Amino acid sequence: MSDIDNESMKDLENEHRIATVGSRARRVKIEKGESWLVRFIPFPMGKNGAFYARIAYHWIDRKSTLCIRNTGPAFGGDPDYDCPVCAAANKLYNETASEPVRLFAYKAMGHPRWRTLCLVVEKNNTSIEGEELYLPYEFDLSKTTFTGWSDMLLRDQKKGTSKQGFLDLDTGCDILASRPNIAIQLQRENAGPILGISDNDKLDRVIDRIWKRCSPPQLTLPARTQLVEAADRLREAAAKEAQHPGQNRDDLNRQDSE
C-alpha cells in the first residue's frame, strides 16, 4: 500500500471516529465529587472577539426560552429589553409569600451562564485518548465559576505575559475543574503548550484541526409573542407550584444555586 493510501486510510479512520461521537454538542458535565482536566481554548465566540458567550434561558415546564435581556449584546441580547418573562418572574418573587413559589420564580428569572470552549484531557483521572482529545467541548460556567475564571484571566493579563493568559495555546495551562460540593472550582495545572505539543509546525496543524471543529453559539431570538406566552406559562406553573410544592422540581434542578 502506498504512502498516499496509508494517509487516506488514516484520514478516513479519523473521520469515522468523529462520526461515531455523534452530532450533538459535546458538553462538560461535572457531577458532585468529580473532576475533569480541561484546556480552555481562545476561540472567538462573537463579533467582539471574546472567548466566551453570555447566554441566558428561562426554564418553564421543562421548556427553555432565550432571555433577551440577560443574554450578551454580541449574541443578540439587549440589557434594556422589556422582557415579559423577567417581569413576571420578578413580580412573583417580590409579591408572593410562599417560599416554594419564590424559589420557583427565582429559578425562572433567566440567570446567565458563560459558554466557553475547551479540550478535555482527563475525566476523573482517566486520560482521554485518540480523536476525542482534539474535539472541543462546550463548558457553560455559572456566575460563581465564571467569576473565578475571569479573575484568573484578568490577573494573567495584568502580569503582561500574554493577553490570552492561561488560555494561550503556547504559554497557557490546563485547568482542573472539580465539584466538591455545588460550585465548580478551577485550579491551574500543567503549564505549557496545549496537549504538550512543543513542535511549532505540529502545534499549528493541531490548532487548525481543532479550530475547524469550533463554532460560536447560533441563537434564535424569540418573538415578542413567544415571550408573552412564556410569561403566561410561568404564572400558570407558579399557581400549580403554590398548590403542589415541588412538582416543578425538574425545572428547579436545571439551574443550580451557584
Statement: residue 257 has pLDDT above 50: no
Percent pLDDT > 70 in the chain is 85
* Owner of C-alpha cell 468529580: 34
What is the residue-averaged pLDDT of the chain?
87
Hey, which of 43-47, 106-110, 117-121, 234-238 has the most confident mean pLDDT?
117-121
pLDDT digits (tens, 9 = 90+) for 127-186: 999 889 999 999 999 999 999 999 999 999 898 777 899 999 999 999 999 999 888 999
Residue 252: pLDDT over 60: no
pTM over 0.85, yes/no: no
* Closest among 59, 50, 55 to 69, alpha carbons compared: 55
Torsions phi, psi for 227 (to 5 deg): -70, -40
Domain map (residue ranges) of the chain:
25-143+213-254
89, 109 Cβ separation under 8 angstroms: yes
Lowest average pLDDT, out of 12-21, 56-65, 112-121, 241-250, goes to 12-21
pLDDT of residue 258: 47
Q: What is the pLDDT of residue 205?
A: 92
Write out the three cell numbers for 178. Answer: 472539580
